[in-house]
Chain A
């Protein structure tokens, strides 16, 4: 059985099914449908949604809610992302399990409120002081809007960090036909509250039954314990020790900041999500993500029908950058996947192409291999990249 569904509804349903219990947001085109869905739907599952007085209040409420036991998320668009910036940093430092949906529109500033864009790719990654890593996923169709929302909640829970779902006006609002039974439901881990530490545990303070920022490994998040729960806990956005007290002790400071980086970067390989098709003899590889993958898939279909060989890579995990998936097109060991041209298509000036270039050129330099040509298809006129624009870029096919 099929339904006529937009990305917004799929994301909302994904969040509800992932166990979301709290949403705060501020009206902004084109992200508002999530706010409306959540105001209406969350009370049905015992949660609640609130319209904050601004974006700063909205994401601040989400952070506090997330640290008081809720599974929280928020949604906005570019101008709201600007206002979220300080609290994205807070979520990184305080290790908050938080999902942020960014329905990208054309920027900069107010930009085009009702036009699609993909210009927040670097902004999501670097929109915090200190430059700490985050996780960002980009669904390419309504099925992925649902499944990657679930994945986002799961990863937020595991890594205790902001996880972005980067979508755009068109994928979010366009209605498409989906098979009700074809929505995949990747598992979302349960919220686990830290167990009480045995009395006499090294470093345990008198009032503590858990140590809120003591992590099990230098690349892992600490166990979660909510405010108001079984343990007295401290949350802080300042550089802190394991108890959440401010510190300038270089050993503790260094350990914390390295862990905040390593808990994501050391897990880059396992966080990779990308779908590729490799055609024998293809000399061109298309790389895309989000709404632009639709045109890429159509171009691939046409190319196949015309007997032209081309490989494709639809990237679902933008951050960390899925290096292995990208390098399949240059590593000779992988044989037939190697190409002489990589085409990166996106609705910006080359946000993700920078990453493809970085990954490919670095590897090729180290391997002393001539790198493929890396070109971009970029549109910032408010229109979608078309299948024809992809087809023009095929070489040797």
Chain B
């Protein structure tokens, strides 16, 4: 890798494509001067641009270039920095890109991703014919605000400053200190934004009788100050993320969790076991432990869940299939056993309840003791068994009771699965409950 650069210019041989008098040429010359002052190896510079006249800018420099879609430069620059935090990244965007990329602007500032953003702000869209932008001043005439702009202009500097940018400056393309400002901004190693006001000689200037003098008057009129507006010393995000992650380096990533066949099961054919309860009632986690218990018993298992988009409310249903053979289709249309834990579960179980036959089993609570069903109904009364506080683990307790009664999976396998798959205190609670319910009094069988 070449060392620091002694380049006398970072411009290549290509001529700028901008209109006579356009501010972009001035800003890019200032950028070139700044790059020479910085003396960074051009291999270690990335110029990120998107759409608009200034989006062409990367093509006139000897440096890496990333030219993308309108308004997304800040997201690209974030991706680049996250991979290579030591790169010098310059983002060249216009007022148009600032507007359409507003969400990225807020978030790059908020994160303080180390990049120097040059907003080449000429108050309208030049490339597409002079439409208004988020920075068009009040009363500004453009082809889309013919009677004068009614929208309040975005104060880009105040916006990023209040959201955590490390370096914020405002001025014009005519400011002679701009190269030094760019150097200082880049050396701040923070999210640095320069709002550089310019003349668009093709549109904004002729449509508004606008001039270099107007730029100075406008800052008074809009109450937008100039110069260095904000400095803040915060950790640069790309480096901070890497530091925060460093502790994890080298730990095994997502290792397999093999489940040896420590137990046996007498199951000879596929058995479909549906657990219907409430969201927040640990239905899915209980089902997962049962599936793991089945595998520990030498079976194949499958689990497919159904739940609404809400979180701690509504139904939660897990369909489990246990089989001595490979399971191809994970759906369950007719359960061999349905565990009905709660009213929310019942409401969402109509199709299972309808499919039950005299061969099926229904395990439920006294709440549903009178339910009309052709299935063999087993009412499990936890209170009568002297099990207090069973409601929060109801799905688990009813399920292990059912599997124990059906003789498909042993209580020992369920205990082992809980121990392997759950946090110690959770496993302990599950195992304690299991032992009480399995050793408890016989449930009523209707």
Contacts and interface: CB of A to CB of B under 8 A. Distances in A.
Contacts of B78: 50, 57, 61, 64
Contacts of A383: 331
A175 B43 contact: no
A9 B254 contact: yes
Contacts, number: 230
B76 A64 contact: yes
Contact of B103 (A45, A53, A90): A53
A302 B58 CA distance: 63
B302 A64 contact: no
A68 B328 contact: no
A24 B79 contact: yes
Given A67-B66, A173-B305, A174-B330, A206 B58 contact: no
B289 to A, nearest CB: 10
A227 B64 contact: yes
Contacts of B245: 43, 48
A12 interface: yes
Interface string A336-369: 0000000000000000000000000000000000
B79 A53 contact: no
A206 to B, nearest CB: 7
Contacts of B1: 230
Given A57-B75, A234-B58, A238-B67, A69 B84 contact: yes
Contact of A227 (B80, B291, B329): B80
Contact of A37 (B59, B254, B300, B330): B254
B226 to A, nearest CB: 29
B75 to A, nearest CB: 4
Given A61-B76, A234-B65, A237-B69, A2 B259 contact: yes
Interface in A373-397: 383-384, 386-387
A227 B103 CA distance: 25
A245 interface: yes
B104 interface: yes
Interface stretch (B135-143, B216-224, B306-314): B306-314
Given A63-B76, A228-B64, A246 B69 contact: no
Contacts of A295: 328-329, 331
Contacts of A37: 254
Interface in B44-82: 44, 46, 48, 56, 58-59, 62-69, 72, 75-80, 82
A173 B302 CA distance: 11
B154 interface: no
A207 interface: yes
Interface in A44-91: 44-46, 48, 50, 52-54, 56-57, 60-65, 67-70, 72, 86-87, 90
Contacts of B253: 16, 41-42, 44-45
Contact of B75 (A2, A56, A301): A56
A176 B305 CA distance: 12
B301 interface: yes
Contact of A60 (B62, B68, B246, B257): B68
A155 B63 CA distance: 29
Q: Give the size range of B's interface with the partner.
A: 35 or more
A97 interface: no
Contacts of B38: none
Contact of B248 (A44, A207, A236): A44
Contacts of B303: 4, 174-176
Given A12-B254, A174-B303, A174-B330, A61 B249 contact: no
Interface string A78-117: 0000000011001000100000000000000000011000
A236 B331 contact: no
A171 to B, nearest CB: 8
Given A3-B257, A53-B107, A64 B330 contact: no
A386 B63 contact: no
Interface in B255-304: 256-261, 288, 291-292, 295, 299-304
A22 interface: yes
Contacts of B257: 3-5
A90 B82 contact: no
A64 B64 CA distance: 12
Contacts of A206: 12-13, 62
Contact of B260 (A1, A13, A50, A177): A1
A298 to B, nearest CB: 4
A57 B107 contact: yes
A42 B326 CA distance: 32
B82 A22 contact: yes
Contacts of A70: 83
Given A44-B253, A227-B84, A229-B43, A301 B328 contact: yes
Contacts of A54: 103
Interface in A160-181: 170, 173-177, 180
B65 A298 contact: no
B241 interface: yes
Interface in B318-334: 326-331, 333
A1 B258 contact: yes
Nearest to B331: A384
Given A4-B259, A64-B66, A69-B84, A177 B254 contact: no
A232 B84 CA distance: 15
Give the one of B59, B64, B83 with max A CB within 10 A: B83
A212 to B, nearest CB: 9
B335 interface: no
Given A52-B75, A61-B76, A227 B330 contact: no
B59 A245 contact: yes
B295 A207 contact: no
Contacts of B300: 2, 176-177
B77 A294 contact: no
Contacts of A46: 249
B251 interface: yes
B152 interface: no
B83 A69 contact: yes
Contacts of A246: 56, 59
A77 to B, nearest CB: 12
A5 B330 CA distance: 13
Given A4-B292, A174-B330, A175-B291, A236 B301 contact: no
25 contacts: A1-B260, A3-B295, A4-B292, A9-B254, A44-B248, A44-B253, A45-B253, A46-B249, A53-B106, A60-B76, A64-B48, A64-B75, A64-B76, A64-B83, A67-B80, A174-B302, A176-B300, A177-B326, A206-B13, A228-B43, A232-B43, A236-B67, A297-B329, A384-B329, A386-B329
Given A56-B75, A175-B304, 7 more contacts: A48-B241, A60-B72, A113-B309, A180-B258, A205-B12, A386-B331, A387-B328
Of all A-B residue pairs in the complex, the 10 with the closest CB atoms, nearest first, are A64-B79, A43-B245, A61-B79, A60-B75, A1-B258, A64-B76, A298-B328, A298-B329, A43-B248, A297-B328
Interface of A: 1-5, 9, 12-13, 16, 21-22, 24, 29, 37, 41-46, 48, 50, 52-54, 56-57, 60-65, 67-70, 72, 86-87, 90, 94, 113-114, 170, 173-177, 180, 205-207, 227-238, 244-246, 294-295, 297-298, 301, 383-384, 386-387
